[in-house]
Amino acid sequence: MSTQSHNSSLEESFVSVHEKTILEGSEDLEEEFPQPALQEAESSCNDEKSAAILNLDDPAVPRRLELSAHQTDLLATLRTRLTEARYPDQIEAAEWSYGTETNTLKMLTREWLHLYDWNKELAHLNQDFEHWTCRVNGLDIHYVRHDPWADMAEDPVTEEILEGPFAGKTMVNEKGEIIMPLLLIHGWPGTWYEFGKAIQLLKKRGRFQIIVPSLPGFGWSQAPTQKNFGVRAMAKTLHELMQHLGYKHYVAQGGDWGSIISRTIATLYPEHCLAIHINMLPCLTPRPWTRPFEFAKAVTGFLLPSIVYKNNPRERASIEALKMYAIEDGAYFFIQATKPQTLGHALHDSPVGLLSWLTEKYLGWADLDPAQPETWPFSKTELLTQVMIYYSTGTITSSTRIYYEAYHTRDLEWLLRRPVPASVPVGVGVWNKEIFMVPKAWADDYMNITSWHEFPKGGHFAAFERPVEFEKEITGYFTSEHILDLFTAKRHGYKI
């Protein structure tokens, strides 16, 4: 049986926690969910009604994963390094203008050393989320999965497995609402955990089959070992993951690199990725040959935002944030895009250095006052968990290489100049302190924006900072009538 066939089957029946799956007859489901693996398994059993056991030695077969640290002496070493940390001097009244403020870093280091319990948090991550792994595009990819169809249906009296992987299952939830596959894509310095609180809210909503991968080289996903694994390779890997799991048609959402990868997937695979939602929007000015007036306004507005956008504070703030990023905040981008290995030696070796590097981004890009931790939209424990995912898996260096590869493969240049196919609707969430956002008129020249909502609070990490608003926003968008009609038509094979 082929690897692809194995994993098409796993979409319907899935492996159990004991890494063993029994496939039995199918019930007229082939029209909407082809089951080549089921057919092969049945024929190989010579039509006998017996179990077809998958080859679980095949790394392409999805299997449950228990998260753990890669080092046995991790915590002992970490405690020593935190205890012996040395700190530089600081200019008086510098606060955050020179970078991570030292007193805040010391406070977080003490929290990490004396109060934070990695084993406890790791147990929560394993208990609260389903973790899986499988080989895709040559890499072992970790992903969190919630699929209301994944479990076998049981007889409520005998507790026996009912026949057929979809026995008792339908394509709608108990309220009769359509369920669709949703791919959530994080960025840097995020991890899959950025979506943790939103995942729990989405699960309660019951509208989605949820897949949240760790990007290659992040957390528990294997890092590429060859050059040129850029944004298009990331997009190819995540798209193949969705196909691998049997989700022929799906929708995607992302912020930071997740927004760029979502756009890339929609551009490369518009027949499969049917709609996207993004909460970061880097974009070129409108093209002069398609929208000459908007082009002239954009160029003038970038130079004189206070005049051109005086009647639109949101657009004025977006332009000013872009200019501030280019002048004050963008140096990290070029370090990671040119010399990630040099930086990696320091960040991989020093937990306090890693904490400083990541904390500056979380507290600088989120909508918060770094001097008042009690008002932060995420707890110190949640912030340290993000840092620990990088530290415990040793993936800070491989994560920063996404900048190098995207820059040197010119993937960003390719993406920014290529419009998203008009057949793929785009939703945009505009959070108050997003570092990369442009006026809607710019983006309208490159994508079919069907939803644009602005939020008075929230920053670059929308799902991490404002999970309730984030969940309502993406649920409202993806379950809107035009998205549901598009998804239903594609699912039944109609051409749009």
- DSSP one-letter code for 183: E
Per-residue pLDDT at 452: 97
The residues of the chain scoring below 70 in pLDDT are 1-56, 150-170, 495-496
Per-residue pLDDT at 336: 97
Which residue's entry shows tokens 């995912």? 389
Per-residue pLDDT at 55: 58
- For 274-311, the pLDDT digits (tens) are 999 999 999 999 999 999 999 999 899 888 888 888 88
The answer for 176, left when phi > 0, alpha when psi is -120 to 50, beta otherwise, is: left
Rounded to whole angstroms, the Cα distance separating 379 from 404 reads 31
Per-residue pLDDT at 151: 52
Q: In what order do the strands lie in the sheet with 448-455?
A: 63-64, 131-136, 139-146, 208-213, 180-185, 250-254, 273-278, 425-431, 448-455
Q: Active-site residue numbers? A: 256, 403, 460
What residues have CB less than 8 Å from 325, skipping those under 6 apart? 435, 436
Rounded to whole angstroms, the Cα distance separating 441 from 439 reads 5
Determine the distance from the C-alpha atom of residue 298 to the mean position of all C-alpha atoms in its chain, rounded to a whole number.
30
Rounded to whole angstroms, the Cα distance separating 138 from 232 reads 15
Amino acid at residue number 348: H
- Side-chain-side CA neighbours of residue 146 (13 Å): 22
Find out whether 424 and 270 touch, Cβ atoms under 8 Å.
yes
Q: Is 331 exposed, middle or buried (0-12, 13-18, 19+ CB in 10 A)?
A: exposed
Per-residue pLDDT at 57: 72
First to last CA, the chain: 34
Per-residue pLDDT at 496: 61
Assign 288 to helix, strand or coil. Answer: coil
- For 394-405, the pLDDT digits (tens) are 999 999 999 999
- Side-chain-side CA neighbours of residue 64 (13 Å): 15
- For 167-206, the pLDDT digits (tens) are 444 577 778 888 999 999 999 999 999 999 999 999 999 9
Per-residue pLDDT at 18: 32
Please report the DSSP string for 226-269 in residue order.
SS---HHHHHHHHHHHHHHTT-SSEEEEESTHHHHHHHHHHHH-
**What are the CB-based long-range contacts (under 8 Å, 24+) for 137-140?**
137/233, 137/236, 137/237, 137/240, 139/216, 139/221, 139/222, 139/223, 139/224, 139/237, 140/59, 140/221, 140/222
Rounded to whole angstroms, the Cα distance separating 60 from 133 reads 9
Per the CATH hierarchy, to which homologous superfamily does domain 68-128+170-496 belong? Answer: Alpha/Beta hydrolase fold, catalytic domain (3.40.50.1820)
